[in-house]
Structure 1
Amino acid sequence: MNSSGTTATAELGLRLVVPDRTAVPLVARLDYTADDPYAIKVAFHTGEDEPVEWIFARELLTVGIVRAAGEGDVRVWPESGNGERTVNIALSSPFGQAQFDAPVSPLAEFLHRTYEIVPAGREGEFVNLDAEIEQHLLA
């Protein structure tokens, strides 16, 4: 895991849950930056040339460690079994669906680092609204 004063990154080992088959291990890279304080970018390395990228609300992942959260395209919920605490992440898009599980501890450690960079409730202080509006007007 790496972090600076404004960014945090981590590699997270997780498993792709495949019905009626053994789970497939994968690695995901998590990226957080104070420039986009509400979001965490997750790049799933699936063996293809380019990773599959999703953007999650930081709060969704945080709540999902403790209780079920999300609806629609992204759902996150905790699970305990065999003495191991995991978090499940279910993704749905027009291109398909996937479910992953990951150990809670490294995800919680990464999230903790993001809250050291931008504390909960202070995200708005890190958003430059003028730059965001200008970017959208020029697009």
Structure 2
Amino acid sequence: MNSSTTVSAELGLRLVVPDRTTVPLLARVEYTADDPYAIRMAFYVGEDEPVEWIFARELLTVGIVRKVGDGDVEVWPSGTDDDTLNLALSSPFGNALFEAPLTALAEFLHRTHELVPAGREAEYIDIDTELQNLLWQS
């Protein structure tokens, strides 16, 4: 990947466990102009390969100011004291609630919008290549 078309950051998250204590872990967020609607987040949970989730950049952007999401991913500001964003993930394997640093995530999102402004994502997609890839896989 070309670094001029990629934005990434490492975030220190907290996994909220059932008794409401938290477990610190590291996550890497990445955005590329080649896939302008998506954010990739890799959760490092031990020595195994990271667990990766892909979701819409708009979901995180809106989630900074109000609760958003339905189904597998929900995002909302903590609304209490601090610089915390809640991220709830659900899969057939279970559910997880993470607390992420709001300021660091907002700075990451700001950098993604500098790279590809909101509303201009379609300009960064090569539709002919995407169609060819789709047809090739059939």
TM range (shorter): over 0.9
Q: Distance in 2 between matches of 1:122 and 1:106?
A: 24
Gaps of 5+ in 2: none
Give the deviation of 1:19 after TM superposition.
Answer: 1.6
Mapping of 1:10-89 within 5 angstroms? 10-81=9-80, 83-89=81-87
| Alignment correspondent of 1:133 | 131
Q: Could you state the TM-score of these two structures normalised by the residue count of structure 2?
A: 0.94
| Alignment correspondent of 1:97 | 95
**DSSP 3-state at the match of 1:66:** coil
Percent identity reads 68
Q: Distance in 2 between matches of 1:86 and 1:93?
A: 23
Residue correspondences, number: 136
Q: Which AA in structure 2 matches 1:128?
A: D
Give the deviation of 1:5 after TM superposition.
Answer: 2.6
Q: Distance in 1 between matches of 2:17 and 2:129?
A: 43
Q: Distance in 1 between matches of 2:93 and 2:20?
A: 21
Q: Distance in 2 between matches of 1:113 and 1:21?
A: 32
Q: Could you state the TM-score of these two structures normalised by the residue count of structure 1?
A: 0.94
Q: Distance in 2 between matches of 1:70 and 1:21?
A: 22
- Runs of 4+ aligned residues of structure 1 deviating over 6 Å after TM superposition are none
After superposing the two structures, state which structure 1 stretch, 109-118 or 20-29, moved more. Answer: 20-29
Q: Distance in 1 between matches of 2:68 and 2:99?
A: 15
Q: Distance in 2 between matches of 1:130 and 1:29?
A: 30
Give the deviation of 1:76 after TM superposition.
Answer: 0.4
Q: Distance in 2 between matches of 1:77 and 1:21?
A: 17
**DSSP 3-state at the match of 1:47:** coil
**DSSP 3-state at the match of 1:114:** helix
Give the deviation of 1:21 after TM superposition.
Answer: 4.5
**DSSP 3-state at the match of 2:106:** helix
